[in-house]
Chains A and B, each alone.
Chain A
Amino acid sequence: MDKDILLQINDLHASAGDREILKGINLTIRRGEIHAVMGPNGAGKSTLSSVLTGKPDYVVTSGSVVYDGKDLLAMKPEERSWAGLFMSFQYPVEIPGVTITSFMKTAINARRKANGEEPIKAADFLKLMRDKMAFVKMKSEFAKREVNVGFSGGEKKRNEIFQMAMLDPSLSILDETDSGLDVDALKIVADGVNSLRTPEKSAIIITHYQKLLEYIVPDFVHVLKDGRIVKTAGKELVGQIEASGFDNF
Chain B
Amino acid sequence: MEGNLSAIHDRKPVIGHGKYVDIPVVKDAKTLVVRSGEKMSRIVVLDGPSMPFDRIIVEENASAELCLVVRPGVSADLPVTVDMVGEGSSVYLSGIYICGGDERVSLRTDIIHRAAHCSSDQLFNGIVSGRAGVEFFGKIIVAPEAQKIEAYQVNHNIMLSDDARIDAKPQLEIYADDVKCSHGATIGRLDESSQFYMRSRGIPLDEARVLQMISFISPVLSRVRNPLERESLAARLEADIRSLL
A-B contacts, CB under 8 A, total: 81
B168 beta carbon closer than 8 Å to chain A: no
- How far is it, in angstroms, between the C-alpha of A66 and the C-alpha of B3 when the chains are bound? 33
- How far is it, in angstroms, between the C-alpha of A114 and the C-alpha of B202 when the chains are bound? 9
Within the complex, which residue of B192, B196, B205, B219 is in contact with A97, where a contact is CB–CB below 8 Å?
A: B219
In the complex the two chains form, is B211's CB within 8 Å of A78's CB? no
- Give the Cβ gap from B204 to chain A, nearest Cβ, in Å: 5
- How far is it, in angstroms, between the C-alpha of A77 and the C-alpha of B217 when the chains are bound? 26
- How far is it, in angstroms, between the C-alpha of A114 and the C-alpha of B201 when the chains are bound? 13
- Give the Cβ gap from B127 to chain A, nearest Cβ, in Å: 13
Among A77, A97, A111, the one with the most B-chain Cβ atoms within 10 Å of its Cβ is A97
- Give the Cβ gap from B192 to chain A, nearest Cβ, in Å: 6
Q: Taking CB as reference atom, which chain A residue is nearest B217?
A: A97
In the complex the two chains form, is B200's CB within 8 Å of A53's CB? yes
B204: chain A residues at CB < 8 Å are: 76, 78, 110
In the complex the two chains form, is B199's CB within 8 Å of A77's CB? yes
B1-13 vs A, Cβ < 8 Å mask (1 yes, 0 no): 1011000000000
- How far is it, in angstroms, between the C-alpha of A87 and the C-alpha of B198 when the chains are bound? 11
A57-99 vs B, Cβ < 8 Å mask (1 yes, 0 no): 0000000000000000000111011100011010011111110
A110: chain B residues at CB < 8 Å are: 202-204, 207
In the complex the two chains form, is A167's CB within 8 Å of B222's CB? no
B197 beta carbon closer than 8 Å to chain A: yes
A249 beta carbon closer than 8 Å to chain B: no
In the complex the two chains form, is A95's CB within 8 Å of B211's CB? yes
B199: chain A residues at CB < 8 Å are: 54, 76-78, 81
Within the complex, which residue of A78, A95, A108 is in contact with B194, where a contact is CB–CB below 8 Å?
A: A95
A: contact size bracket: 20 to 34
- How far is it, in angstroms, between the C-alpha of A13 and the C-alpha of B107 when the chains are bound? 51
B: contact size bracket: 20 to 34
- How far is it, in angstroms, between the C-alpha of A97 and the C-alpha of B218 when the chains are bound? 5
A107 beta carbon closer than 8 Å to chain B: yes
A103 beta carbon closer than 8 Å to chain B: yes
Within the complex, which residue of A81, A93, A108, A114 is in contact with B3, where a contact is CB–CB below 8 Å?
A: A93
In the complex the two chains form, is A78's CB within 8 Å of B205's CB? yes
B215 beta carbon closer than 8 Å to chain A: yes
- How far is it, in angstroms, between the C-alpha of A77 and the C-alpha of B204 when the chains are bound? 8
A76: chain B residues at CB < 8 Å are: 199, 204-205
Among A53, A54, A77, A111, the one with the most B-chain Cβ atoms within 10 Å of its Cβ is A77
Within the complex, which residue of A56, A97, A107 is in contact with B201, where a contact is CB–CB below 8 Å?
A: A107
- How far is it, in angstroms, between the C-alpha of A96 and the C-alpha of B193 when the chains are bound? 14
Which residues of chain B from 177 to 220 have any CB-CB distance to chain A below 8 Å in the complex? 192-194, 196-205, 207, 211-212, 214-219
Q: Given that A56-B196, A95-B194 are known contacts, is A107 also in contact with B202, CB under 8 Å in the complex?
A: yes
- Give the Cβ gap from A96 to chain B, nearest Cβ, in Å: 5
- Give the Cβ gap from A56 to chain B, nearest Cβ, in Å: 6
- Give the Cβ gap from B242 to chain A, nearest Cβ, in Å: 13
- How far is it, in angstroms, between the C-alpha of A95 and the C-alpha of B198 when the chains are bound? 10
In the complex the two chains form, is B215's CB within 8 Å of A97's CB? yes
B62 beta carbon closer than 8 Å to chain A: no
Give residues in B with beta carbon < 8 Å to A: 1, 3-4, 192-194, 196-205, 207, 211-212, 214-219, 221-222
Give residues in A with beta carbon < 8 Å to B: 53-56, 76-78, 80-82, 86-87, 89, 92-98, 103, 106-108, 110-111, 114, 163, 167
Beyond A78-B203, A95-B212, 19 additional pairs, beta carbon < 8 A: A54-B196, A76-B199, A77-B200, A78-B200, A78-B204, A81-B201, A82-B202, A86-B200, A92-B197, A95-B211, A96-B219, A97-B219, A97-B221, A97-B222, A98-B214, A103-B211, A106-B203, A163-B201, A167-B202
